[in-house]
Structure 1
């Protein structure tokens, strides 16, 4: 964050642009110069990254790095406000850069059109003062956390699901907790619904991402009390904030190299379940079977009614996972599978796996369809 005095000095245009910041005694000219000479990396330009990037650019951050490999889709526009209808089909990094440049042409924007991995994370992140975790999956969160520990960078974490979000600041000081203190072990993947499966209130990431941006500004200007050792949780349904204290475990800092985080997060399995090997089948194999012996097959869809209405496989039967887990549908499925072979699918293959594990407890065996309706639609297209 240190640059020469000439580089740090504000122009008359910048003094006018940031007048409301400069009038704050806590920030002033010095603080605005610190923002100008600072650099922030944002991983993810989705729901959280959108408001964060917009406000950081408007605040006068001198250099912003954006890491993302996805493209803009219509389903993003309900919450990813840095993108517009005209951005459909564009790389999210390119779309975000265009928006940032419109807000603040003086902001230097570095774009990395790639997935953050163990092989590139240290090289990408080492150039930035503060790292903002706006990702949406556990492997990336652990990767960002460990990279920040190795590089000694503060990590501003945010996450959202349905109507609730949380924010914290990790690795700010030598005694700060990190993400592994919050979640030492990743949850079983089959228990984690995606954003498209669980849904999210559109305004929620705007609130959480903006709080992340506020924490970044506070850290750079060294003002206020960052969420160091604290988890801020927001519930939009109750319109309620609560705060939890997070303690640092010295053992969680013992990170010296990056690992394969996809494998790390997939190794954890659901405990206390019936030990059984679930057979699986690909969409291509399924289509061959359907063309040969569809009358002998029961194609069971365990998604919600709303998902089923949007897209379904012809001839499939809808019985939501909740009806299986509650026991309401067990007898019906027993009768149906007495004379037919059971094939189960959902959106991506996670809920169908849970359904089959539950059905196994009642002696009902079936086959999981890999990739679910997503893979079916991709194969169809």
Structure 2
């Protein structure tokens, strides 16, 4: 008996539906909390070729929701590790790995060879980038999003009225409208639910079975286990913001920084530096700059050196920057966020002259 026998005996699906899945090519952008359940269910269902895009590495803080990974995987690249785990479970499938973040230079080329695109990312810039690329290439886009206890599911660029993300949100939010990523938590089950719903919509698109969730947004509230839908319509002003051509797309800047999230207080910064893997606390002041501040948990890399070689910090998921007052570190945090949009990059509030800093307190004399 085939491992797909429980699917092929379904009315309307049958062997024909299974063959459609086996011929399909699906790209999953982001192998995180949403991407992991999407990948697992698409592979289990027998989608023939699955592309995985993610330039990030696995950290211990990911493990409550990124269920393809375990402690033995920390520090490894997400995209290639997800492919290895799934290939071991389902050796008959093909996996194409892109261990990079999508950007205007590579997005169109990567997306163009796939039938359906799944957005499992957690930042606004990438959502707009993926949306605009899918509109240019006429690719169906299955998008999921979560915030605290609520999740959303949206299907774009599909059906007789091909809506897109800009019909709902014409313009990206400003920096001070984006929630503080360091303070916004998530229960791992929520992205599991939304990611599974994303996978179900992909299977419906590919097989032609059922009614695809188009022209509406599906909301799920974890606290009261409720679902509700909101209809959406074309937005003329939003569509005016779409790139008109490939050249226009490549000239755009999709880096949207979280203004509040760029700042972190000393208590949280020290807790992360001391207790969280893949974290680094960096004093970016110039060599010899007073007052001296030397601790075991503190790295000293001048701002100019980081600007010259930002890749020196690429191995870390959480990058915490401090200077004398917080001004230089805030500027550098913004610059590094453009270089590494998926990483958590913060400026420590008030710098080392802040009364709460370890220089002025005996609380952290490690």
**TM-score, reference length from structure 2:** 0.70
Alignment of 1:24-63 (within 5 A): 24-63=10-49
2:219 maps to 1:197: no
Unaligned runs of 5+ in 2: 261-281, 294-319, 335-344, 358-366
The CA distance in 1 between the partners of 2:160 and 2:104, in whole Å, is: 23
Deviation at 1:162, TM superposition (A): 1.1
The CA distance in 1 between the partners of 2:321 and 2:77, in whole Å, is: 31
SS in 1 for 2:173: coil
- 2:196 corresponds to which of 200, 210, 223: 210
The CA distance in 2 between the partners of 1:69 and 1:75, in whole Å, is: 17
2:348 maps to 1:372: yes
Deviation at 1:371, TM superposition (A): 2.0
2:55 maps to 1:79: no
Pair member with larger Rg: 1
The CA distance in 2 between the partners of 1:111 and 1:172, in whole Å, is: 26
Residues 172-201 of structure 1, C-alpha deviations (whole Å, 9 max, x = no match): 135221000111111112332354431111
The CA distance in 1 between the partners of 2:208 and 2:62, in whole Å, is: 34
Residues 154-174 of structure 1, C-alpha deviations (whole Å, 9 max, x = no match): 000001111111001000135
User: Which residue is 2:362 aligned to?
Assistant: none
Residues 316-357 of structure 1, C-alpha deviations (whole Å, 9 max, x = no match): xxxxxxxxxxxxxxxxxxxxxxxxxx9579xx969xx9xxxx
2:270 maps to 1:284: no
- Asked if the contact 2:111–2:117 (Cα under 8 Å) also holds between the matched residues in 1, the reply is yes
- 2:228 corresponds to which of 242, 246, 270: 242
Unaligned runs of 5+ in 1: 1-14, 270-281, 293-311, 315-341, 354-368
The CA distance in 1 between the partners of 2:76 and 2:6, in whole Å, is: 34
- Asked if the contact 2:149–2:186 (Cα under 8 Å) also holds between the matched residues in 1, the reply is yes
The CA distance in 2 between the partners of 1:74 and 1:56, in whole Å, is: 25
2:91 maps to 1:124: no
CA RMSD of aligned residues (A): 3.3
The CA distance in 2 between the partners of 1:96 and 1:203, in whole Å, is: 19
The CA distance in 2 between the partners of 1:370 and 1:87, in whole Å, is: 25
Alignment of 1:80-229 (within 5 A): 80-229=66-215
Residues 97-147 of structure 1, C-alpha deviations (whole Å, 9 max, x = no match): 111112211110000011101111110011100000011111110110011
User: Which residue is 2:313 aligned to?
Assistant: none
- Asked if the contact 1:47–1:206 (Cα under 8 Å) also holds between the matched residues in 2, the reply is yes
- Asked if the contact 1:142–1:261 (Cα under 8 Å) also holds between the matched residues in 2, the reply is no
The CA distance in 1 between the partners of 2:163 and 2:17, in whole Å, is: 26
The CA distance in 2 between the partners of 1:291 and 1:267, in whole Å, is: 31
Residues 270-304 of structure 1, C-alpha deviations (whole Å, 9 max, x = no match): xxxxxxxxxxxx95349945449xxxxxxxxxxxx
The CA distance in 2 between the partners of 1:290 and 1:190, in whole Å, is: 32
The CA distance in 2 between the partners of 1:267 and 1:89, in whole Å, is: 25
- Asked if the contact 1:230–1:243 (Cα under 8 Å) also holds between the matched residues in 2, the reply is yes
User: Which residue is 1:273 aligned to?
Assistant: none
The CA distance in 2 between the partners of 1:91 and 1:66, in whole Å, is: 11
**TM-score, reference length from structure 1:** 0.68
The CA distance in 2 between the partners of 1:196 and 1:267, in whole Å, is: 11
Deviation at 1:26, TM superposition (A): 2.1
Distance 1:192 1:214, change over 3 A: same
The CA distance in 2 between the partners of 1:288 and 1:239, in whole Å, is: 55
Aligned residues: 286
Higher helix share: 1
Distance 1:291 1:160, change over 3 A: same
